Chains A and B, each alone.
Chain A
């Protein structure tokens, strides 16, 4: 399988933890922006950004909700920065089953940062606008995005393996069922 590299304008939020004052305005405005109708309600638990903070250990880390993951990690890391220990869940962006973070409090559905994309274009995400201490800074940059160049020959090889394992009839039935579901 070969890779194709494309240039693409990407968005990101740079987080300067040294500037975070722990006010959680980012959580507040995120939850308000994503309410329906917009700004009609407010609840940090629905926010797609959360500030992990432990004041007595001087830990202030804003973390954005990333991809949903269906299972929790097998092994966990521990980071030591400046003599302080951090559990890697503290930095993890995933909505995962092992913690309540980044799940809708009512439905349990996972939350993910969308950079406030349905805001008028050219606007910064709301959390960045409301972080006037500049701990959160919006950046657009030209990033490289790799795309798998899928070749039919590769698909053939995969299918042959499936047929060898399950039999042609079973694979056909499965494909038909998946096609029906859309």
Chain B
């Protein structure tokens, strides 16, 4: 019997209409755990570097994590991976909700799509019954609407659906895959789904997921739940409200947006409004939020309420989580009411709430600077809010200028020319970043921004505070019950970190400390992504319930694998290097590992080079960010080394 995992993948060839249930190698869980890591293994094995994102040979993989479907609180993430049309590297995005557990209960760890369907289809999986169904009646339907229609036509409200909207159908590079209160939004994976002709995947499962050592596993899960309750009762003092608790930043719960509205940038990541948050604004926003928010909601088997049912009068109901509440508002210099309204349309279209508002703000800037002309924006309203709706409609339909903008700011700027490149100023690896511009370089964040394989800071940052506590008393208080640190030295790093003076950014944390801290943050994310754990209960917030000290026992009791901290660290390194190798094989090099030039006002080129040198060295990579042969061999990735050697990438 296989524990925690089902031991089967579903392989669907859309070109031929072939469906197979394929047993997986149990050894893979030992080497990689599962989730993102075993997905990366499939991509490495099957996708040579010349494969284009919209090639039938580019697979699209929906993966559960190793612990999804077990009683481990928060293990509900679905990892969707493919080659990204935007970065041309591995594109992976993760969503919460209910899809992954349901897929496990249906008896599968992954669905691997290849080929392309000539007509729009949806996939219906009900345990052993798998069908490719006609979806011509769903063409052009909203992503939220589609879920409703499918549940009704299958006459089963318990069926879990992941769907694309118009943006995915039209291969918009910011297209998301929507699934109720969750979405896999980043890096254009919805575009690949649309390219394959898949409108939706609907899953229903009624089978068991087994665990190896039930009593022990249950106790560990119960301890996690108790710690969540403890943390609910003990918010971290001295940090802003959204960082005090667990879960994703509690944007749906909190109305107080002083921090985001005054520290994040408005427009095309340009303008900081330091005095924006007044009592009048707060009162107005509170009214807006409380009137449209019908309920705070969760993902499968998780008590955190990071999402909400949103019902704006006159518009159909949708669900929202986290920061998309503000991205449209701030990009359009509008207010919260606008944000909730346009997000409804954007969710039905199925677009990424990070990139899309920036693309639209970028277009507005280009117009204001004479790079885009009246001819490009013919018919566009003159007011800013009107412009955003107009641009959104053009982008998802790829009409006129929308066809250019639909490829994201990097590619659009290349296409438009005339200096448009200067305005695509907030990208890493061709991908739009958080609208954040800061003063002093933070060495830890510098490394995370540069080297994150997902090109998204929230998927690498984590539980080491973002800035020092002003007083020693606060620091001592913070480290007192900081059980999550992998090593006591991290407490010393934090205790020594000052706001000003010698031991402050950018030279403190020192280069070595910075590398250590980044390695810890990354490690937790990579473990989460392999087991399907939500970062909101593990790698992302301060003092989370899952950490390097309890993970080995949890994974071991669930799977029966022997596990300890060293072993888990080795698996993390193996997985980290495998994904890096995939991207290196596609051309990723040191030259690509750059944060946006204006991310910090105060830059330190010499220090930055040293940071990157030290990080690469620590990872066992050469000076160009390529894993060395020795590193790969040490991690049982000899076959990867051999391939890179044959291609002349490893010399």
User: Could you tell me which A residues sit within 8 Å of B by CB distance?
Assistant: 21-25, 28-29, 32, 35, 37-46, 52-58, 60, 105, 130, 132-133
Contact = CB atoms under 8 A, between A and B. Distances in A.
Contact of A55 (B206, B232, B319): B319
B73 A25 contact: yes
Contacts of A132: 225, 228-229, 232, 303
Contacts of B298: 21-23
A29 to B, nearest CB: 6
Nearest to A56: B317
B339 interface: no
A37 B210 CA distance: 11
B295 A40 contact: no
Interface of A is mostly: mixed
A58 B295 contact: yes
B157 interface: yes
Given A21-B298, A55-B181, A38 B214 contact: yes
A39 B557 CA distance: 12
| A-B residue pairs, 5 tightest by C-beta | A39-B214, A23-B298, A45-B206, A41-B208, A105-B206
Contacts of A43: 105, 206-209
B586 to A, nearest CB: 38
Interface string B291-327: 0001111111111010001010000111100000000
B390 to A, nearest CB: 27
A61 to B, nearest CB: 12
Contacts of A38: 214-215, 218
26 contacts: A21-B295, A21-B296, A22-B297, A22-B298, A23-B298, A23-B301, A23-B302, A24-B301, A32-B71, A35-B208, A38-B218, A39-B215, A40-B214, A41-B209, A41-B211, A42-B210, A43-B208, A52-B157, A53-B157, A54-B157, A55-B317, A56-B309, A56-B318, A57-B317, A132-B303, A133-B303
B290 interface: no
B317 to A, nearest CB: 5
B512 interface: no
A57 B297 CA distance: 13
A58 B301 contact: no
B551 to A, nearest CB: 19
Interface centre among B70, B144, B214, B318 (most CB of A within 10 A): B214
A43 B232 CA distance: 28
Nearest to A132: B303
Nearest to A28: B301
A38 B206 CA distance: 18
B506 interface: no
A58 B294 contact: yes
Contact of A21 (B73, B105, B144, B305): B305
A175 to B, nearest CB: 43
Contacts of A22: 297-298
Interface in B189-232: 205-211, 214-215, 217-218, 225, 228-229, 232
Nearest to B302: A23
B246 to A, nearest CB: 12
Interface string B315-351: 0111100000000000000000000000000000000
B562 interface: no
Interface centre among A43, A56, A132 (most CB of B within 10 A): A56
Interface centre among A21, A38, A45, A58 (most CB of B within 10 A): A21
Given A37-B214, A42-B69, 4 more contacts: A21-B298, A40-B211, A41-B209, A105-B206
Contacts of B402: none
A60 B218 CA distance: 27
B34 interface: no
A130 B226 CA distance: 10
B462 interface: no
Nearest to A32: B71
B322 to A, nearest CB: 16
A17 to B, nearest CB: 10
Contacts of B299: 23
B296 A58 contact: no
Contacts of B208: 35, 41-43, 46
B180 interface: yes
B20 interface: no
A24 B76 CA distance: 12
Contacts of B319: 55
Contacts of A133: 303, 305
B645 interface: no
A42 B210 CA distance: 6
B148 interface: yes
A150 B148 CA distance: 54
Contacts of A105: 206-207
Given A21-B303, A29-B71, A132-B228, A56 B209 contact: no
A23 B300 contact: yes
Contacts of B210: 40-42
A42 B71 contact: yes
Interface string B32-72: 00000000000000000000000000000000000001110
A69 to B, nearest CB: 21
Contacts of A55: 180-181, 297, 309, 317, 319
A11 to B, nearest CB: 22
A25 B298 CA distance: 10
B474 to A, nearest CB: 29
Nearest to B127: A105
Contacts of B229: 132
B546 to A, nearest CB: 16
Given A32-B71, A45-B206, A58-B295, A25 B181 contact: no
Contacts of B69: 42
Nearest to B217: A39
Contact of B214 (A29, A35, A44): A35
Contacts of A58: 294-295, 309, 311, 317
Contacts of A24: 98, 300-301
Contacts of A60: 295, 297
Interface centre among B180, B206, B210, B215 (most CB of A within 10 A): B206
A22 B105 CA distance: 18
A32 B208 CA distance: 10
Contacts of B70: 42
B298 to A, nearest CB: 4
A40 B70 CA distance: 10
Contacts of A46: 208
Nearest to A57: B317
Nearest to A24: B300
Contacts of A57: 317
Contacts of B215: 37-39
A55 B320 CA distance: 12
A25 B305 CA distance: 13
Nearest to B295: A58
Interface centre among B207, B217, B295 (most CB of A within 10 A): B295
B225 A130 contact: yes
B214 A25 contact: no
Interface centre among B209, B211, B301, B302 (most CB of A within 10 A): B301
A24 B299 CA distance: 8
A38 B217 CA distance: 11
A21 B297 contact: yes
Interface in B138-157: 144, 148, 157
A41 to B, nearest CB: 4
